[in-house]
A and B are shown apart, each in its own frame.
Chain A
Amino acid sequence: MNLNRLKILYAVISIIFLLALAVSPLKNYFKAWRNIQNNFNETVEKLPQKVKPVSIGLKQIWVADLDRIDRCTTCHLGIDNSKLESAPQPFKPHSKIYHDIEKFGCTICHEGQGLATEYDAVHLPTEFWDRPLLPKKYIQSSCGKCHINEKLNSTHLLNFGKELIADLNCTGCHNIPGIEKNFVPLLDGIGSKVIDRNWLVNWLKDPAKIQPDTKMPDFLLTDSEVETLADFLMSFKSFRNGITLDALPDVYYKNKDEEDFIMLGQTRFREARCISCHAIEGKGGKLAPDLFKTASKIKDTWIYNYVKNPKKLQPEVEMPQYGFSDEEAAAITAYIESEFVDWDDEEETGSVHTPLADFYEKGLALFNKYNCGGCHQLSAKGINQNAGPDLSEIGSKKIYQIDWGKTNVTHTVYDYIETKVRSPREFGGNTRMPKYNLTERKVEAITTYLLSLKEEKLPVNFIHPADKKTESSLQGKVGKIFDRYACLKCHSLNDSGGSIAPDLTIVSSQLNTDWLRAYFKIPFTIRPIVEERMPNLFISNEEIEILLNYFNTVLLDDNLSTPINWAVDKKSEERGASLFYERYGCQSCHIIEGKGGYVGPPLDEAGSRLKPGWIYNWLMNPQKFKPETIEPRTEMPEQDALDITAFIMSLKKTDK
């Protein structure tokens, strides 16, 4: 009996033991992915198209080069099978991309835990995995890991983020590699520039209230900080390098309220197309500050000096130095003084403000605390660079390194960056970061770019760094003229410069010299719908000749010519006209004699403006010269292109 009981005990223990041992294989056997794979085989059977069922088992992509093993394909079984387009997730194929999934794996772009096979561990943020699956909106950050500064078409958000970071001058405080610094006004002489201290006080309190599109962020200063900083800044009365302001000419004081004088200023203001760059009440260009209310901010003497020569007061500014006479500059000043006034401005109370005794030391300390010197230059002793955190590897920040404060933000790097960009003081602590007025799309873009800045070292053969820009710095007389009129703020030359006006690299192969000469004198808009317009620079004849000479000797492409034996005749012209209208439908986009579309430039007088070699080569392959142009490449036969060229060349300017 005793022995029997022992036997029973033994048997029970063995069973328990066996069961315990069975737990692990059973757990494995009942993993969700097995069901999903069975489900896949069932789904596939029902489909009309033939798809091979899979054998049950873990699937993985091993990318040795990147040291990654991704088991995503265990469930995402149709990832490279276009026959499964209509299948439910997770069996849908991946959209066609430019990378081979076998070579790159999944987590190199999507992040997440490649080895995991449980749904939550793979797809959701977890406490111990620093890089959970990226939300779709940030996916482009992964492109930026290899395609460094490449500006791909498909990564518009990443490109936009980079532009914003440059535009908002984030590099004033943060180290972000590959971002250029932007122009920010230097503050020497600010005490002689602004009309009164009140303006500065209001500005520092909330810059966007005065200038809605300003790039200056709100530092959320306390009232006493604002007062002290304003006193500190107002004490800088003299300009850099001993420069003094020219006095306004007598004609200004005599005529500043005369209608004719103001009209002269307004005419010059319009001819100079100031609104190409400056907006007025939000209407106009975005390259320079809005001029609305300028007269309530800046003293007239400063405006006069600045209009005459912007670089005297702000050496790095990219505003052209127009060839205005003193009287014209004074008239423009009078126009600005009469028009751009803040009528809601409170009347001066008349009370004289006396700063505290230690305003300078306190002001300097505040100036340093908020790192104003990161963006604005100021010649004063004791200014230190007091930069913010280095962001060159921010995308790889570990979750444990982040101070989450009292927020409810999900603990992921992308949520951290997004929140920080949107409302910088959210996480508390001693942060000094100012608040930028950003739309949601801009927050997304900046976050995407910052996420692309990783610590991770990828193999060299994966990295696609963009070619370094070769800054073309023009020398001599031409260089001086380009500099003086800030040509490269709008135009580009050999891949550097602005993007709002045509590229000048082969301008002399495109445009007729006589046409160009006249255009400098009376510029006009070639395209009826383009906002930015070439200003009248009031450039001297001598300077025009120097430029034309330079264009004609350097800015050419020798390959842009028509075939040697090309002869224009009436027949060719007529054939060209019928091809233009009836074969290629060019009138969809181009106007001739008042009829046609607004997309491309009107072609009346194109025969006087363009050179035949350019028209011909452009017609053969527009994208070769301007990759982003929407004019389609038609692959037209050579003879068609020649005939259309003959037709366009016949559209000459006629003196009426």
Chain B
Amino acid sequence: MKVYFIDLLLILFVSVLLMSCQPGQNNITNDVVPDSSIAEETITADDKKNKDGYVDIWAVYNYDEREGKRIFEHYCSVCHGAGGKGDGFNSYNLNPKPHSFTDSSYMSRLSGSYLKQVIKLGGESLNKSILMPAYGNTISDLETDRVISYIRTLAEKENK
């Protein structure tokens, strides 16, 4: 009799345990926690532009890209253009003109370290135009990485 009760108890306990295990929560990281990077990839700047030219930069770019954007607009946009198309107001005085960063087939061929070298050591270091000065002593490594991550978004945007 005693054994029977203990068996019963055990069976009940185990079945409760098993039942609790049932809910398929294995993919919880993909379902429950919203992946902010997904939103960032699918929304382009133009989608989010409303009537007074407001761009929801918070949804479009992540932190590194936002910081990169700020640095890019400060140092680079005078020649490379605010949208990276190589059409900054000063580009018309340059020969050769800066290449467009929105050209994705061109940009995808350039590695991160290549871009980093151009920014840090200037165009001359890679036998490109001397008119691209070296910014290695002006902006830090981290800032350079951020600028590069922003530049990458320019080509991606054009691709969509």
Residue positions of A touching B, CB distance < 8 A: 7, 11, 14-15, 18-19, 22, 26, 30, 32, 35-36, 39-40, 43, 75, 88-92, 95-96, 119, 135-137, 153-154, 156, 439-441, 529, 582-585, 587-589, 591, 595-599, 623, 628, 630, 632-635
Q: Given A30-B20, A39-B29, A89-B36, verify A588-B133 contact (CB < 8 Å).
A: yes
In the complex, the answer to whether A597 meets B62 with C-beta atoms within 8 Å is no
Pick from B13, B21, B134: contact of A632, CB under 8 Å = B134
Pick from A26, A30, A439, A635: contact of B137, CB under 8 Å = A635
In the complex, the answer to whether A89 meets B29 with C-beta atoms within 8 Å is yes
Task: Select from chain B the residue with minimum beta-carbon distance to A137.
Answer: B58
Q: Given A26-B20, A95-B63, verify A623-B138 contact (CB < 8 Å).
A: yes
In the complex, the answer to whether B58 meets A136 with C-beta atoms within 8 Å is yes
Q: Which residues on the B side are within 8 Å of A7 (C-beta)?
A: 1, 5
Pick from B26, B29, B54, B142: contact of A440, CB under 8 Å = B54
Task: Select from chain A the residue with minimum beta-carbon distance to B6.
Answer: A11
Contact string, B118-157, partner A, CB cutoff 8 A, digits 1/0? 0000111000011111110110001000000000000000
In the complex, 16 of the A-B residue pairs with CB atoms within 8 angstroms, ordered by the A residue number, are A11-B5, A18-B9, A19-B12, A32-B32, A88-B37, A89-B33, A90-B33, A440-B54, A585-B131, A585-B133, A589-B90, A632-B135, A632-B138, A633-B138, A634-B134, A635-B137
Asked whether any CB of chain A lies closer than 8 Å to the CB of B64, the reply is yes
Asked whether any CB of chain A lies closer than 8 Å to the CB of B16, the reply is yes
Task: Give 8 nearest A-B pairs by CB, closest first.
Answer: A585-B130, A95-B63, A588-B131, A137-B58, A440-B54, A633-B137, A597-B93, A136-B58
In the complex, the answer to whether B50 meets A440 with C-beta atoms within 8 Å is yes
In the complex, the answer to whether B54 meets A439 with C-beta atoms within 8 Å is yes
Q: Which residues on the B side are within 8 Å of A95 (C-beta)?
A: 62-64, 67
The dominant DSSP class at the B interface is helix
Question: Could you tell me the distance in whole angstroms from the C-beta of A145 to the nearest C-beta in chain B?
Answer: 18
Given contacts A15-B8, A35-B26, A588-B93, 16 further A-B contacts (CB under 8 A): A11-B5, A22-B16, A35-B28, A91-B29, A92-B37, A96-B64, A119-B33, A588-B90, A588-B131, A588-B133, A595-B93, A597-B90, A597-B93, A632-B134, A632-B137, A635-B137
Q: Given A35-B26, A634-B134, verify A11-B9 contact (CB < 8 Å).
A: yes
Q: Which residues on the B side are within 8 Å of A595 (C-beta)?
A: 93
Q: Which residues on the B side are within 8 Å of A40 (C-beta)?
A: 29
Pick from A88, A154, A635: contact of B67, CB under 8 Å = A154
Q: Which residues on the B side are within 8 Å of A43 (C-beta)?
A: 29
Question: Could you tell me the distance in whole angstroms from the C-beta of B71 to the nearest C-beta in chain A?
Answer: 9
Pick from A39, A441, A630: contact of B28, CB under 8 Å = A39
Question: Could you tell me the distance in whole angstroms from the C-beta of A87 to the nearest C-beta in chain B?
Answer: 10
Q: How distant is the Cα of A632 from the Cα of B139 in the complex, in angstroms?
A: 9
Q: How distant is the Cα of A410 from the Cα of B92 in the complex, in angstroms?
A: 50
Question: Could you tell me the distance in whole angstroms from the C-beta of B37 to the nearest C-beta in chain A?
Answer: 6
Contact string, B56-99, partner A, CB cutoff 8 A, digits 1/0? 00100011100100100011001100000000011001100000
Q: How distant is the Cα of A572 from the Cα of B11 in the complex, in angstroms?
A: 97
Q: How distant is the Cα of A14 from the Cα of B9 in the complex, in angstroms?
A: 9
Pick from A439, A596, A598, A632: contact of B133, CB under 8 Å = A632
Question: Could you tell me the distance in whole angstroms from the C-beta of A122 to the nearest C-beta in chain B?
Answer: 10
Pick from B8, B27, B94: contact of A588, CB under 8 Å = B94
Asked whether any CB of chain A lies closer than 8 Å to the CB of B47, the reply is no
Question: Could you tell me the distance in whole angstroms from the C-beta of B97 to the nearest C-beta in chain A?
Answer: 11
Q: Which residues on the B side are within 8 Å of A36 (C-beta)?
A: 28-29, 33
Q: Which residues on the A side are within 8 Å of B79 (C-beta)?
A: 588, 597, 599
Size class of the B contact interface (CB-based, 8 Å): 35 or more
Q: Which residues on the A side are within 8 Å of B29 (C-beta)?
A: 36, 39-40, 43, 88-91
In the complex, the answer to whether A634 meets B16 with C-beta atoms within 8 Å is no
Task: Select from chain B the residue with minimum beta-carbon distance to A136.
Answer: B58
In the complex, the answer to whether B52 meets A439 with C-beta atoms within 8 Å is yes
Q: How distant is the Cα of A148 from the Cα of B47 in the complex, in angstroms?
A: 35
Pick from B32, B63, B94, B133: contact of A584, CB under 8 Å = B133
Q: Which residues on the A side are within 8 Å of B63 (C-beta)?
A: 95
Q: Which residues on the B side are within 8 Å of A22 (C-beta)?
A: 13, 16
CB contacts under 8 Å to A, within B89-117, are: 89-90, 93-94
Q: Which residues on the A side are within 8 Å of B124 (C-beta)?
A: 585
In the complex, the answer to whether A597 meets B94 with C-beta atoms within 8 Å is yes
Q: How distant is the Cα of A156 from the Cα of B74 in the complex, in angstroms?
A: 12
Question: Could you tell me the distance in whole angstroms from the C-beta of B4 to the nearest C-beta in chain A?
Answer: 9
Question: Could you tell me the distance in whole angstroms from the C-beta of B138 to the nearest C-beta in chain A?
Answer: 4
Q: Which residues on the A side are within 8 Å of B137 (C-beta)?
A: 632-635
Q: Which residues on the B side are within 8 Å of A439 (C-beta)?
A: 52, 54
Q: How distant is the Cα of A91 from the Cα of B5 in the complex, in angstroms?
A: 47
Question: Could you tell me the distance in whole angstroms from the C-beta of B120 to the nearest C-beta in chain A?
Answer: 10
Question: Could you tell me the distance in whole angstroms from the C-beta of B29 to the nearest C-beta in chain A?
Answer: 5
Question: Could you tell me the distance in whole angstroms from the C-beta of A13 to the nearest C-beta in chain B?
Answer: 12
Question: Could you tell me the distance in whole angstroms from the C-beta of A549 to the nearest C-beta in chain B?
Answer: 37
In the complex, the answer to whether B64 meets A529 with C-beta atoms within 8 Å is no
Question: Could you tell me the distance in whole angstroms from the C-beta of A52 to the nearest C-beta in chain B?
Answer: 18
Question: Could you tell me the distance in whole angstroms from the C-beta of A436 to the nearest C-beta in chain B?
Answer: 14
In the complex, the answer to whether A15 meets B20 with C-beta atoms within 8 Å is no
Question: Could you tell me the distance in whole angstroms from the C-beta of A414 to the nearest C-beta in chain B?
Answer: 13
Task: Select from chain B the residue with minimum beta-carbon distance to A39.
Answer: B29
In the complex, the answer to whether B50 meets A582 with C-beta atoms within 8 Å is no
Q: How distant is the Cα of A529 from the Cα of B92 in the complex, in angstroms?
A: 14
Q: Which residues on the B side are within 8 Å of A15 (C-beta)?
A: 8-9, 12
Q: Which residues on the B side are within 8 Å of A529 (C-beta)?
A: 89
Q: Which residues on the A side are within 8 Å of B132 (C-beta)?
A: 585, 588
Question: Could you tell me the distance in whole angstroms from the C-beta of B92 to the nearest C-beta in chain A?
Answer: 9
Q: Given A15-B12, A35-B26, verify A598-B89 contact (CB < 8 Å).
A: yes
Task: Select from chain B the residue with minimum beta-carbon distance to A33.
Answer: B28
Asked whether any CB of chain A lies closer than 8 Å to the CB of B159, the reply is no
Q: Which residues on the B side are within 8 Å of A35 (C-beta)?
A: 25-26, 28
Q: How distant is the Cα of A633 from the Cα of B139 in the complex, in angstroms?
A: 9
Pick from B16, B64, B90: contact of A599, CB under 8 Å = B90
Q: Given A11-B8, A588-B133, A632-B133, verify A75-B67 contact (CB < 8 Å).
A: no
